Chain A
Amino acid sequence: MIQVKNYYLSFGKKKILNDINYQFQAGITAIVGPSGSGKSSFVLSLNRLTDLYSNTRYSGEILFEDNNILIQKKNLGKIRHAIGTVFQKPTPFPVSIYKNLELSLIELGTVEKKNYLEKIKEVLKKVSLWEDVQDNLHKSALKLSGGQQQKLCIARTLLLNPKILILDEPCSSLDPISTLQIEELLIQIAKLTPVIIVTHNLKQAKRIAEHLIVFGIHEGVGSIIEKGRSEEVFLAPKHHFTKTYLEYEAF
């Protein structure tokens, strides 16, 4: 599992995160908090995707399987395979559905080519997309609906056999039915693989999460305000900020 110790992050001169400490656990961990509190930057840090932004600077430790990934120079690709990421905006690649999934298998490199279809069928069934697309595997993935596209992106990541799955607001652009389907899927996945989900939807966090992290902003820099088991935080928040923030759940 991932353990974060004294993690600081800044983009150039702008500080983003301040002294983050957290030990992730099995099951679903939801991260909530106001916009700009650095939730997304935090989850992208977990597999160093923040390196893609310009002038990224960080300090502290992020331990994954006893390695501090912040000082790792080689094999970042392996880490990104092990800690899979799904993004807010569904980004199926502008090629066929089959090719979208095949790309993951090519990059993984451990599956023989003749078993590709088998693997792809298996993962599409897992994300309950097989029924919808089995006749259109070679049609463009851009023709799918938003919910289906996001499921495809989850399938693409699952093919890499991640040990941890990160989702950055996966349902924010989806309709309620697709959202519920993806939540069910996440609960299924979380039985085997720990899931970390950033969400703006407090009801969603309440529905699916076992652990909750609440981010807040102090002088423009994000930090963890409160953390703990989800039901405990929802029932009896310790921090006054969490209290006011959670009250908005009614809306």
Chain B
Amino acid sequence: MNIKKNLIVLISFPILILFFMMISNIILEGHAGLSWNYFVTEASHAGRSGGIAPIIVSTTIIVILTLLISTPFSFCSALILTLVISKNRYLLSLFEISLTLLSGLPSVVFGLFGSAFFGKTLGFGYSLISGALTLSCMVLPFYTKILHDNFKILPREYFLSGKALDLSLYQFAKNILIPLNLYAIAAGAIFSISRALGETAALIFTSGYVDRYPHSLLDSGRTLSIHIYDLALNIPGGDQAALKASFVFLLLSLTINFILSVVLKNTLLRGLQ
């Protein structure tokens, strides 16, 4: 017993050390020179100096757009899978396998697809909307899978009751499926946000990496992750700035997580307890 327990601690220890090394590195080196000015000014010298205000704006727009696009699409896909396609067992398993495979596809593949389809075919070019659509495609399979898995385990009586009362699909979704699956929708939304925040490969080809303010949704913009990636890899002497941006990234994701958990606890999920 003791050996097993020690083994578990031994295995988890390096992960903890690695985690604290990364975090402490970012915090110790990143917080230096951080001021209010950093958040409200534009970048200069390719990001080596100046602030990150346009980058935060682009990031926020892309995250919100992704959430707004992927949530309804995933919900409807999951609904169709549950209500229509599930009647055919073979078709359903085909769809389920596709969802699993697609959610494991490398993001760079989605980036190339988005660049070709949204950028060229639909003519959005390098733009925030093109990036958000690509990210939506990327999170769609997993988001749909989360929702579909939750719809599947609902008691069949809910579907039967809905049919027995002859509820319209809209009323059924609004009054039964959404309230019963708030946890799943919240999980999918958090997944979308975190993917959108952390993504670089899919966005470089679609939303581009211009570091000024975006003028419209059809304009190119740089997200925080791309900013960090660019500073760390492409800009000579950008290491310090990259650490600084990473620190902001850490703060941002902590803040979003905190806000989400407070909002979820106090509003959405209260009705279910």
> Is residue B160 contacting chain A, with contact meaning CB distance below 8 A?
yes
Q: Looking across the interface, which residue of chain A has its beta carbon closest to that of B174?
A: A95
User: Which residues of chain B from 9 to 42 have a CB within 8 Å of any chain A CB?
Assistant: none
> Is residue A5 contacting chain B, with contact meaning CB distance below 8 A?
no
- B271 adjacent to A140 (CB under 8 Å): yes
Bound CA–CA A89/B159 (angstroms): 12
> Is residue A81 contacting chain B, with contact meaning CB distance below 8 A?
yes
CB distance from A17 to the nearest CB of B (A): 18
Residues of B within 8 A of A222 (CB): none
> Is residue B253 contacting chain A, with contact meaning CB distance below 8 A?
no
Residues of A within 8 A of B164 (CB): 47, 49, 80, 84-85, 87, 157
> Is residue B261 contacting chain A, with contact meaning CB distance below 8 A?
no
Q: Which of the residues B87, B88, B272 comes within 8 Å of A142, measured between beta carbons?
A: B272
Bound CA–CA A140/B167 (angstroms): 19
**Interface residues on chain B, number (Cβ under 8 Å):** 24
Residue among B88, B155, B166, B171 with the most chain A CB within 10 A? B166
Residues of B within 8 A of A84 (CB): 164
- B272 adjacent to A80 (CB under 8 Å): no
Q: Looking across the interface, which residue of chain A has its beta carbon closest to that of B171?
A: A103
Q: Give the secondary structure class of B's interface.
A: helix
CB distance from B186 to the nearest CB of A (A): 15
Bound CA–CA A44/B179 (angstroms): 26
Q: Give the secondary structure class of A's interface.
A: helix
User: Which residues of chain B from 152 to 168 have a CB within 8 Å of any chain A CB?
Assistant: 155-161, 163-168
Q: Which of the residues A77, A80, A93 comes within 8 Å of B176, measured between beta carbons?
A: A93
Q: Which of the residues B88, B160, B166, B272 comes within 8 Å of A44, measured between beta carbons?
A: B160
Bound CA–CA A107/B163 (angstroms): 11
Given contacts A81-B166, A93-B176, A140-B271, 6 further A-B contacts (CB under 8 A): A54-B87, A85-B160, A87-B164, A91-B161, A94-B175, A107-B168
Interface residues in chain A, defined as those with a beta carbon under 8 Å from any beta carbon in chain B? 44, 47, 49, 52, 54-55, 76-78, 80-81, 84-85, 87-89, 91, 93-95, 99, 103-104, 106-107, 140, 142, 153, 156-157, 160
